[in-house]
Amino acid sequence: MTEADLQARARRKLAGIRRRRRDPRYVRVMGRFVGAGLLTTNERVPPNKEALDVHEVLWAGKVEPRLLELLPALLVKRPAMFVDATDLPEDLEEVVRRLRRNLVPDDFRGIAGVTLHGWLPRVGRKNRVPSRLKSFRFKAEDLRLLRHLSKELELTETDVIRRGLRKLFAEHESA
């Protein structure tokens, strides 16, 4: 392949990228992400406040890979940004399932799982990872103690249990 062939190939590829960046799907998706303060860009993008179609975000992610990095974390922490947050392709559904459990997912369409997991505390409620629902059966006396401590410490019942677990763990580690 000659130098002229390489240059012609690069020009065609650049023309294709420019064409896709003018596509209404790309403009809508970037407008939503930039408008929400999730991404910055040096090109002018009209803001968009409408909920997005996940398939449009996946399409735009072929042009702008940062969209693919953010998408799984947003589906976990800000699903209202999407009109179809439950109708996901199989690979994306698996990534979202693992992120909900605060586990590092497998690579997703060329994006490392560690990178995907790194976005989780950075979107939605900052520095928070998803919590897992656990059900416990407390005796009446345990519930009375829990409510009393919650009221006295001005904490939620969940926070009282978290503090108790940490205190018990610290005592166990020092013993």
Is the model more confident about 75 or about 85?
A: 75
Rounded CA-CA distance 35/26 in Å is 14
pLDDT tens readout for residues 16-61: 878 888 888 999 999 999 988 899 888 888 888 999 999 999 999 9
Inform me whether the pLDDT recorded for 128 exceeds 80.
no
Mean pLDDT of 134-149: 89
Using the 8-state DSSP alphabet, how is residue 98 labeled? Answer: H
Q: What H or E segment, with its residue span, contains residue 75?
A: helix 65-77
pLDDT of residue 1: 79
Taking the complete model, does pTM exceed 0.75, yes or no? Answer: no
Rounded CA-CA distance 61/45 in Å is 16
Q: Which single residue is written with the structure tokens 């690979």?
A: 91
Mean pLDDT of 140-150: 92
pLDDT of residue 130: 67
pLDDT of residue 21: 83
Q: How far is CA 22 from CA 16, 57, 97, in A?
A: 10, 15, 33
Q: How far is CA 66 from CA 39, 70, 110, 111, 141, in A?
A: 8, 6, 11, 9, 52
For the chain, give the percent of residues with pLDDT over 70. Answer: 97
pLDDT of residue 122: 86
pLDDT of residue 127: 66
* Contact in structure between 88 and 54 (CB atoms under 8 Å): yes
Phi, psi for 155 (deg, rounded to 5): -125, 160
pLDDT of residue 69: 94
Rounded CA-CA distance 55/63 in Å is 13
Angle between the N-to-C axes of helices 65-77 and 24-35, in degrees from 0 to 180, rounded to the nearest 10: 60
Query: 45-54, 119-128, 160-169 — which is least confidently predicted?
Result: 119-128
pLDDT of residue 129: 67
pLDDT of residue 85: 83
